[in-house]
Structure 1
């Protein structure tokens, strides 16, 4: 059975939201290794940008694979 668009969107959102916290924590640890000093607010903003891109990517890929069966 083909997954509905709504269920695809819910799955993508859930995946990205759960990954967001890990991404921000990773940035907090990794950025200083590269000499990047970023505030918590900036880390959260950067995370939001990449989260939005990830959400669009996940949804598009899910729909593509659902169409292919």
Structure 2
């Protein structure tokens, strides 16, 4: 049984929300390792941009694989 589009969207968001918290916490350290000093606000902005990209990517990949499964079945 394949997921509905809504289920795919929700799954991608839950996974990405977990990643958001981890990314926000480590961004200042990673940026610092490359010589950039960033505060919590900048780290939040960077994390938001990558989170949006991640949500779209996760949704599209999930829909692609669901479509491939339907065509085989």
Once the two structures are superposed, residues 10-40 of structure 1 have per-residue CA deviations (whole angstroms, 9 ceiling, x without a partner) of 0000010110011112212211111101111
Higher relative contact order (CA 8 A, sep 6+): 1
Q: Which residue of 2 aligns with 1:50?
A: 50
TM-score with structure 2 setting the length: 0.90
Match of 2:59 in 1: 59
Rounded Cα–Cα distance in structure 1 between residues aligned with 2:57 and 2:9:
11
Structure 1 runs of 4+ with >6 Å offset: none
Flag structure 2 segments of 5+ consecutive residues without an equivalent. none
Flag structure 1 segments of 5+ consecutive residues without an equivalent: none
Q: C-alpha deviations, 1:32-57, integer Å up to 9, x for none? A: 11110111101001100000000000
